[in-house]
Amino acid sequence: MRSLLLFIFLPLMALAQNPYEYDQTASHPYGKLNPEAPKEMGDFAPMIGTCDCLSTARKPDGDWAEPQKMEWTFKYIMNGMAVQDETLKEDGSHSGSIRQFIADSSKWYVHWYSNTTPSTTLPTWEGAKRGDSIVLYRDQKAPNGMDGKFRLTFKNISDNGFNWIGEWVDPTEKIVYPTWKIDCSKRSEKSAEEIVIQKNTQAFSRAFRRGDHLAIANMYTKDAHIFPNNSMIISGREAIAERWKFSDNVIPVSHKITPSEIKIINNYAYDFGYYEGSTKNKEGIETPFKGKYVIVWRKEDGDWKMYLDIWNTL
């Protein structure tokens, strides 16, 4: 009987697992690199994410045009087995490509498409990593009919951004004519978890302004500890609720939290920064306050709650 149950349930358990764990998700909006992919797929790893770029093209008269702003996003697709990128430009000329590395030929193959020049057959570049750069080629004659190639080079690649240049070159690559250059800086992206924590800190401020001590207490774990300025440690949600209950002579007016850093570490996170606000008494006299804080968050039932909360005034 036990063997029969295993025979029935093990396939069902396998089906319940996500077969596309390397595709884009809320916590990994750009996907993840599939460990089964060719190792060269890591060539584009520093570029995964969104960059803010300046794109400069050469005009027909040979001068360089004014740079225009461009957004360039790279992400993993096909369950982490390929890379897709998309460019969005101020002038409305957008484009993208699918990038696949074929191990048999040891080359990248890049299929490009654009909203301004739609085609039934996508142009293809091919190439590989050369030193610290990625270099791609496509056959293209010069305006005078000379044989050559259009060469695309990603260089100065780092977690902070990269530079890109498009050049026509002759077969020996001794004649080089740049026609397009793009300089990109990596955009600082907040993870989905960081966004939740930021929203929870904003909810704390709203509850403070309402004087809702129960709502504030529910933002802590049941076994939370708080460390108020010049006070003993207060533990447990009920005691914390009492601490946040305003006296009859204190009316909350404003409250704002400004995180300096949020760091996620598995099911825990730390967050530190500054807070400020004000209260007033029944006579209407307002008292401002400000200070600094450190919070340790813990993820419970899909939400982030405060486990340790330490603050002192400035």
261 has which bridge partners?
A: 272
The answer to whether domain 20-186 has CATH 2.40.50.100 is: no
pLDDT at 100 over 80: yes
Model-level pTM? 0.60
Query: Domain ranges in the chain?
Result: 20-186, 192-313
pLDDT, tens only, 242-251: 999 999 889 9
User: Using one digit for the tens of pLDDT, what is the confidence trace for 105-120?
Assistant: 999 999 999 999 999 9
At 302, is the pLDDT very low, low, confident or very high (cuts 50, 70, 90)? confident
Q: Calculate mean pLDDT across residues 86-101.
A: 93
| CA pair distance 255, 207, nearest whole angstrom | 9
Per residue in 14-41, is it b (16+ CB within 10 Å) or e — as a string? eeeeeeeebbeeeebebbbbbeebbebb
Kindly report which listed range (43-47, 93-97, 192-196) carries the lowest average pLDDT score. Answer: 192-196
Hey, what CATH topology would domain 192-313 get? Nuclear Transport Factor 2; Chain: A, (3.10.450)
